[in-house]
């Protein structure tokens, strides 16, 4: 039976079948195995209403390997015009070099970060983009992917600060254990690795992860990571 009903089995943390209408058929890397942590990662960007991408830093120039519908709607590009390119294709003449440098350094160092920058849609119109990026480790260690999300923001600092406060409030409502698990997700660790760091079993990590998504009122890890990064959550301060 296994293999013949691929994709239809419910998995903890998200329910693809129920949300099918809002999903973009995210292109899977051919190396991604059904039921694997990678498949869960790809499904998590399909399940979020926030524009999101996954990039593969093991390939030359860290190309986008998956994109969701919200990203296409925000930028005006179709999926086939996006996959295979580095995310800098959204930058243009008035994109702030400091913001680019911030992202470049975070990619080099494998850390999560948030940068606000001017980006351009396919039709040439500019928008203020609050970009969040975070690493995702592979099972053997080493960064296998980056996850990124893009959000259009206003001109002033005001709404970013409001988002930061709101995110901090939502993170503060989590239990200390849930905050620790979220901090490890932001740092890129998979459930198994997090279990090792926290000295608990993987099943318990999964349970905390599902509970924190419920508490945050969201359906995907990708969105939880964005909220945690906006709130400035870090492993050292997670307790």
Ligand X SMILES: Cc1cc2nc3c(=O)[nH]c(=O)nc-3n(C[C@H](O)[C@H](O)[C@H](O)COP(=O)(O)O)c2cc1C
The residue count for binding ligand X (CB under 6 A) is 20
Nearest residue to ligand X, scored by beta-carbon proximity: 148
C-alpha distances out from residue 88 to 3, 117, 135, Å: 38, 11, 17
Q: Which one of residues 26, 117, 183, 195 is an interface residue with ligand X (CB under 6 A)?
A: 117
Q: Which one of residues 103, 171, 174, 218 is an interface residue with ligand X (CB under 6 A)?
A: 103
For the beta carbon of residue 35, count every other beta carbon within 10 angstroms.
14
Q: Which one of residues 87, 205, 212, 216 is an interface residue with ligand X (CB under 6 A)?
A: 87
The smaller minimum CB distance to ligand X, of residues 117 and 219, is found at 117
How many helices (H) and strands (E) the chain has is answered by 9, 5
Q: Does 121 bind ligand X (CB under 6 A)?
A: no
Q: Return d(Cα 6, Cα 34) in angstroms, integer.
A: 7
Q: Does 146 bind ligand X (CB under 6 A)?
A: yes
| Cβ pair 102, 115 in contact under 8 A | yes
The smaller minimum CB distance to ligand X, of residues 174 and 229, is found at 229
Q: Where are the alpha helices (DSSP H) in the chain?
A: 37-46, 69-75, 79-82, 97-109, 158-172, 176-186, 191-198, 202-216, 221-230
Name the token pair of 4.
């013949």
Q: Does 53 bind ligand X (CB under 6 A)?
A: yes
Q: Does 136 bind ligand X (CB under 6 A)?
A: no
Q: Does 129 bind ligand X (CB under 6 A)?
A: yes
Q: Which one of residues 46, 65, 107, 231 is an interface residue with ligand X (CB under 6 A)?
A: 107
Q: Which one of residues 47, 74, 77, 148 is an interface residue with ligand X (CB under 6 A)?
A: 148
Q: Does 114 bind ligand X (CB under 6 A)?
A: no
Name the token pair of 235.
């492993």
Helix axis angle for 37-46 and 221-230, nearest 10°, is 70
Q: Does 231 bind ligand X (CB under 6 A)?
A: no
The smaller minimum CB distance to ligand X, of residues 87 and 212, is found at 87
CB 230 to ligand X: min, Å = 15
| Cβ pair 89, 81 in contact under 8 A | no
Q: Which residues in this chain contact ligand X in the complex, by CB under 6 A?
A: 53, 55, 62, 86-88, 90-91, 100, 103-104, 107, 117, 119, 129, 131, 133, 146, 148, 150
């Amino acid at each position: 039976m296994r293999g013949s009903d691929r994709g239809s089995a419910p998995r903890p943390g998200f329910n693809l079948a129920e949300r099918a209408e809002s999903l973009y058929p995210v292109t899977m890397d051919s190396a991604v195995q059904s039921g694997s942590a990678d498949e869960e990662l790809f499904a998590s960007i399909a399940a979020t209403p926030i524009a999101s991408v996954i990039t593969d830093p093991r390939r030359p120039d860290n190309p986008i390997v998956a994109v969701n519908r919200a990203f296409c709607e925000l930028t005006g590009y179709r999926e086939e015009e996006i996959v295979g390119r580095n995310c800098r294709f959204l930058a243009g003449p008035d994109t702030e070099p400091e913001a680019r440098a911030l992202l470049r350094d975070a990619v080099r160092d494998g850390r999560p970060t948030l940068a606000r920058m001017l980006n351009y849609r396919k039709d040439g119109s500019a928008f203020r983009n609050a970009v969040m990026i975070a690493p995702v480790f592979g099972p053997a260690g080493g960064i296998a992917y980056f996850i990124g999300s893009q959000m259009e923001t206003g001109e002033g600092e005001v709404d970013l600060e409001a988002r930061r406060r709101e995110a901090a409030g939502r993170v503060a409502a989590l239990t200390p254990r849930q905050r620790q698990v979220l901090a490890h997700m932001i740092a890129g660790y998979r459930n198994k690795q997090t279990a090792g760091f926290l000295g608990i079993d993987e099943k318990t990590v999964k349970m905390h992860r599902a509970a924190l998504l419920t508490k945050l009122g969201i359906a995907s890890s990708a969105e939880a990571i964005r909220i945690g990064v906006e709130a400035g959550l870090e492993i050292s301060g997670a307790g």
